[in-house]
Amino acid sequence: MALTSLRSHNPARIPVTKTASNRQRFVGLSAVCGWLLTATLWSAGSAFALPVGSSSDTRPAPPELRPHWKTFGVDASLSGVYLGGNAQFATLSGGLDLNFNHDRHQYFLNIGNLFTQVGNQVTVNRHAASLLYAYGLQDNVNLYAYTTHSQDQSILLNYRATEATGVCLHHLGAPFFSNLLVSLGPTIEHAWFQDGAMTNVWRADARLYGAIPVSSTTSVGADVFYRPAFHDITNLRLYGEAFVRVKMTDGLSLQLSAADEYDTRPRPGVLNNDFGIFTTLRSTFGW
């Protein structure tokens, strides 16, 4: 797992010695960013979106994009990194994803955390959790409801909670698509920020996902979100991701992704655009 490119919020300065050169500063920053995203992606699992933008916690994966277990599934991870010298850096990340299925009912609980310290400064202390319920109305139609909860120091967020419901049409376009998915529904978002601001926004949540097999083990695809506020459509978030996925074994896959999020109304001090290229190794088990 490695980071190729990243544009992040409020980049932190990395402590170096007084005699460190600009080259040392650049190398230190590159090492920190690389290890940070490695830990983040390992802990994210299949439940949360790539850590791109200010709202990745509000995009839990639908059931159709998760491993399919007959009864119960678990995806757990824990990782840590320490770097000394020019890049004074430490991080600890973990994630737990649980899935229970009964007849047409599906339940998903996901918890994740990422802690990062650069020198004596804590730059990231991100907590995220989601609970999702889906009911299989028909073979290719789901009704869903979910709630997400998060804290994220890097975007000046004290706490955010979302509640959403909607309908999802999935596994369309066969046999050209291995999965073509469309979902639509309303979402309400409550957020409290470090500057004392509080927001309550109703948004339309539209998603289009498609994956095309190019061989027995490889597929390419894209995932797009369009999320305007009901009261002002110029207050919106756009998210796009393109990927190549290679199935290595039944429980192991490798994915290369490029993702971008644009927010027209970020908080003061937070950039409105983020971009990243990621390599993710994912392992799951269940029954």
Q: How far is CA 261 from CA 51, 143, 190, 210, 281, in A?
A: 10, 26, 20, 18, 22
Query: Is pLDDT above 60 for 9?
Result: no
Please state, as a whole number, how many other Cβ atoms lie within 10 Å of the Cβ of residue 175: 6
Q: What is the pLDDT of residues 37-66, one digit of tens each?
A: 443 443 334 454 555 666 777 888 888 877
Give 122's strand partners: 117
In angstroms, the CA 144 to CA 133 distance is 6
The CATH number for 253's domain is: 2.40.160.40
26 has a pLDDT exceeding 60: no
Sign of CA dihedral 226, 4, 41, 173: positive
What are 117-133's pLDDT values in tens digits? 888 888 778 889 999 99
Q: What is the pLDDT of residue 61?
A: 82
Task: Give the pLDDT of residue 158.
Answer: 93
* Predicted TM-score (pTM) of this structure: 0.74
| Residue range 201-238, pLDDT digits in tens | 999 999 999 999 999 899 999 999 999 999 999 999 99
Q: Give me the chain's average pLDDT, please.
A: 80
Residue % of the chain over a pLDDT of 90: 42
The two tokens of residue 243 are 């990927």
Total of domains in the chain: 1
Residue ranges making up the domain that contains 12: 3-286
- Categorize the per-residue pLDDT at 164 as very low, low, confident or very high, splitting at 50, 70 and 90: very high
pLDDT band at 189 (very low <50, low <70, confident <90, very high): very high
pLDDT of residue 221: 93
Q: What is the pLDDT of residues 243-278, one digit of tens each?
A: 998 988 877 778 888 989 999 988 888 888 888 887
Residue owning tokens 């170096």: 16
